[in-house]
Amino acid sequence: MFGPHFLANLAFQKYGLHQPLNSQRDRLEREGIPLSLSTLADQIGAISVAVKPLSLLLEAHALAADRLHADDTTVPLLAKHKTEVARIWDYVRDDRPFGGPAPPVALCYYSRNRKGEHPRAHLAGYSGILQVDRFAGFNELFRDGRVEQPMTRANCWAHGRREFFKLVDIKQQKKRKNGAAPLISPLAAEALVIINPLFAIERDINGKPAAERLAVRQERSAPIVAELETWMHTTRASLSRHDAVAKAIAYFLNDWEGFTTFLADGRICLTNNSGERELRAVARGRKAWLFVGSDRGGERAAMMFSLFGTARLNDVDPLAWFTDVLDRIADIPQSRLHELLPWEWKRLRNVPLIDEAA
């Protein structure tokens, strides 16, 4: 009844452009195509089933990485007489910062809550480098007693720096409780003066081979990190543990090893920004569709975020690609399914079908 272009557009509008199905239904009706909301929802369900094998290939490619970014965000879940707070988790493979040739992938999962059991299940069997924030739910992945080999933790310096930045940001300080006057911390400003050059160094070496990145870090970044560590220990000794600067320092020192792993491996990024960036689509979507209607709806959304997010990371036109996927996926042999992965699809389209020189 519905062709691949209609179905691809339906899915892309919903998950790529965040247009709820009821808005699409109204638009279609204005265009003289009256369809019920249940009919459109059924089509989304059928699309999800059709592309599931392709999403499994994305998953395999992501989990074969030496290094992943991990993050999560909230998504409201419609429950009986209320909404609950569910989660979307993402795991991003992006080797471009160290000049790696593997195509980037954004892998998303849905869960009903934020328990640590979810990342443990998502990453079962994975034992590479994991770039994260300080969320305790990831901790089990790095323990020596893990059945699989423990992962290497690389903490996010953007999160750590943010703890100091909030103490010198006038806009943030104006949000203080009880109408308290803005308080700008000179100590936090001192910390930022030390930390900020690390970010400038990373901009200089972005996209360089891992060995070159490592050499630069050992020469330029390591002395800065040593200076920061000394400053933090000295400064914390003079402060109450309840002081805001002391808490910002504790954010670093309570897992200092995780913050310094980037000095020993050129593949590691200074921040987890790649993981955070891929969740912006969810944040934009929350403003449009407000909630997911069920756990099944959340799982479908996560899979579609993976597909369209990966297309975007690979500079692929998502609608053209997904239209072709839906047109071919039912008939393509399993041995050629990889041809529908966004980067393979893009590569094959750039190969001439006829040798013009012949």
The string of DSSP codes covering 261-316 is: GGGT-TTS-S--HHHHHHTHHHHHHHHHH-SBSSHHHHHHHHHHHHHHHHHHHTT-
Q: 209: buried, middle or exposed (CB in 10 Å: 19+, 13-18, 0-12)?
A: middle
Q: Which of 9-13, 115-119, 123-127, 197-201 has the lowest mean pLDDT?
A: 123-127
Q: What is the pLDDT of residue 242?
A: 93
Structure confidence at residue 183 (pLDDT): 73
Strand-pair partners of 84: 77
Percentage of the residues of the chain whose pLDDT score is greater than 90: 84
Contacts of 322 (CB under 8 A, 6+ apart): 8, 11, 12, 307, 308, 311
- pLDDT confidence band for 81 (50 / 70 / 90): confident
Considering only 34-48, 59-73, 131-145, which range has the smallest mean pLDDT? 131-145
Checking if the pLDDT of 191 tops 50, the result is: yes
Average pLDDT on 175-192 reads: 79
Q: Is residue 305 predicted with pLDDT exceeding 90? A: yes
* Across 160-184, average pLDDT: 77
309: pLDDT strictly greater than 90: yes
Q: How confident is the model at residue 358 (pLDDT cuts 50, 70, 90)?
A: very low
Residue with tokens 């050059």: 197
Instruction: State the pLDDT confidence band at 213, using cuts at 50, 70 and 90.
Output: very high
Model confidence at 356: pLDDT above 50: no
Rounded-to-integer distance, Cα 10 and Cα 215, Å? 49
What does the pLDDT look like over 216-230, one tens digit per residue? 999 999 999 999 999
Tens digit of pLDDT for each residue in 317-343?
999 999 999 999 999 999 999 999 999
The reported pLDDT for the residue numbered 145 is 76
Q: Please tell me the distance from the alpha carbon of residue 277 to that of residue 103, in angstroms, as a whole number.
A: 17
The confidence score (pLDDT) of residue 176 equals 60
Of residues 180, 169, 155, 158, the one with CA closest to residue 268 = 155
Around 125, how many Cα atoms within 13 Å sit in the side-chain half-sphere? 7
Sign, CA torsion 225/226/228/232: positive
For Cα atoms 229, 235, 241, give the angle at the middle one, nearest 5 degrees: 110
DSSP state, 80? T
Count of CB atoms situated within 10 Å of the CB of 318:
21
Total-model pTM: 0.91
> Helical H runs in 12-76?
21-30, 37-63
